[in-house]
């Protein structure tokens, strides 16, 4: 309840960006102005209206865009909201809560990741598998490593010594090729490491769609993928392999909600999908 004479603070409109100040995390608006004071030792990006945050020397909960607790601290660790659920840890195990803070998949996994397309990767008994939104295994925990499915396709590695392979949830078909590394699918393509050590992108049939021409590559997100050239600089390409954002960053993150976190020679900031730097803060 708002006391007499006080006006309820409106929730900020538009994106908020993580910033740090003296080791604490806060949030700035797109002009770089501080919108939520740096008050948490650890905090995440806003997804679906909430961001995880750690109460100083205490547990994790979730805040809204006014910096108020939307889900009170009570978890040992926490992740972003995705498809209405967030992964949280309690008592040494991971599970999922909804936006009201109630458990929808009980804490039972050694580790798990965000939901995407109705699936999430999870670990039980030291092995990776894939669960659906009810917490049921659609790929039993039997792999040394696994990637996030995209339209029923995923990559897996049976053991440390084995090569990566592609497989489909429906039907259980396995593509023939094998690679030294395969990362998560995005927009139907996955970064894969060629036998010469360079990265390109393969489709769900296992065919090379973009040649192995990069020192490193990350999955496509919102139509763009961060790739690293031989000079060590990162930029972004589209699905046809054309440069959309020229390589000029020492580090480059995934695009989320239209923005990506990048690192330059002078600091850390956010760019839009045209490569324009919104603001930058010294490291």
SS (H, E, C) 53-93: EECCCCCEEEECCCCCEEEEEEECEEEEEECCEEEEEECCE
Q: Give me the sign of the Cα torsion angle 24, 93, 61, 78.
A: positive
Residues 3, 120: Cα–Cα separation, whole Å:
44
Residues 276, 161: Cα–Cα separation, whole Å:
42
Nearest to 251 by CA among 268, 231, 275, 238: 268
Give residue 11's pLDDT.
57
CB 215 within 8 A of CB 252: no
Return per-residue pLDDT of the chain as tens, 283 residues. 333 333 445 555 578 999 988 889 999 998 889 999 999 999 999 999 999 999 988 999 999 999 999 999 999 999 999 999 999 999 999 999 999 999 999 999 999 999 988 999 999 999 999 999 999 999 999 999 999 888 788 999 999 999 999 888 865 455 666 788 899 898 889 999 998 899 999 988 888 999 999 999 999 999 999 999 999 999 999 999 999 999 999 999 999 989 999 999 889 999 999 999 988 888 7
- The gap from C-alpha 107 to its chain's centroid, in whole angstroms, comes to 21
- The gap from C-alpha 215 to its chain's centroid, in whole angstroms, comes to 21
According to DSSP, the β-strands at 165-168 and 153-157 are antiparallel
DSSP summary character for residue 103: E
Give residue 71's pLDDT.
98
Give residue 233's pLDDT.
97
Give residue 174's pLDDT.
54
Residues 49, 189: Cα–Cα separation, whole Å:
29
Give residue 68's pLDDT.
95
Residues 196, 151: Cα–Cα separation, whole Å:
29
Other beta carbons within 10 angstroms of residue 143's beta carbon come to: 23
The three-state secondary structure class of 208 is: strand
Question: 242 exposed, middle or buried (CB, 10 Å; 0-12, 13-18, 19+)?
Answer: exposed
DSSP summary character for residue 12: P
Query: Both ends of the chain: CA-CA distance in Å?
Result: 40
Whole-number CA gyration radius for the chain: 20
Give residue 6's pLDDT.
39
Tokens of 279: 């603001």
Ramachandran area for residue 278 (φ above 0: left; ψ -120 to 50: alpha; else beta): alpha
Beta bridge partners, 91, equal: none
Identify the CATH assignment for 12-83 out of 3.30.1490, 3.30.1460, 3.50.30, 2.40.10. 2.40.10
Q: Phi and psi of 71, rounded to 5°?
A: -130, 120
Which are the contacts of 34, defined by CB distance < 8 A and separation ≥ 6? 19, 26, 27, 28
The three-state secondary structure class of 174 is: strand
Give residue 207's pLDDT.
86
């Amino acid at each position: 309840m708002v006391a007499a004479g006080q006006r309820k603070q409106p929730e900020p409109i538009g994106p908020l960006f993580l910033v740090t100040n003296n080791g604490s995390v806060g949030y700035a608006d797109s002009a770089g102005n501080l919108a939520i004071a740096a008050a948490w030792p650890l905090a995440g990006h806003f997804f679906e209206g909430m961001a995880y945050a750690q109460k100083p020397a205490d547990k994790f909960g979730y805040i809204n865009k006014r910096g108020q607790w939307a889900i009170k601290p009570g978890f040992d660790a926490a992740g972003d909201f995705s498809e209405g659920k967030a992964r949280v840890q309690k008592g040494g195990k991971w599970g999922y809560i909804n936006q009201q803070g109630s458990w929808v998949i009980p804490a039972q996994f050694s580790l798990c990741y965000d939901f995407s397309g109705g699936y999430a990767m999870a670990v039980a008994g030291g092995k990776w598998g894939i669960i659906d939104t009810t917490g049921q295994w659609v790929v039993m925990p039997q792999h040394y490593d696994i990637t996030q499915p995209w339209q029923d396709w995923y990559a897996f590695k049976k053991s440390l010594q084995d090569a990566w392979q592609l497989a489909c949830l429906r039907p259980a078909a396995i593509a023939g090729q094998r690679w030294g590394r395969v990362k998560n699918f995005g927009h139907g393509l996955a970064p894969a490491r060629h036998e010469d050590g360079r990265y390109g992108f393969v489709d769900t049939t296992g065919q090379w769609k973009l040649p192995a021409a990069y020192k490193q590559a990350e999955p496509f997100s919102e139509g763009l993928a961060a790739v690293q050239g031989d000079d060590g600089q990162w930029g972004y390409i589209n699905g046809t392999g054309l440069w959309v954002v020229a390589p000029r960053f020492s580090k480059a993150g995934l695009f989320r909600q239209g923005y990506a976190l990048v690192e330059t020679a002078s600091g850390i900031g956010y760019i839009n999908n045209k490569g324009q730097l919104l603001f930058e803060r010294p490291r």
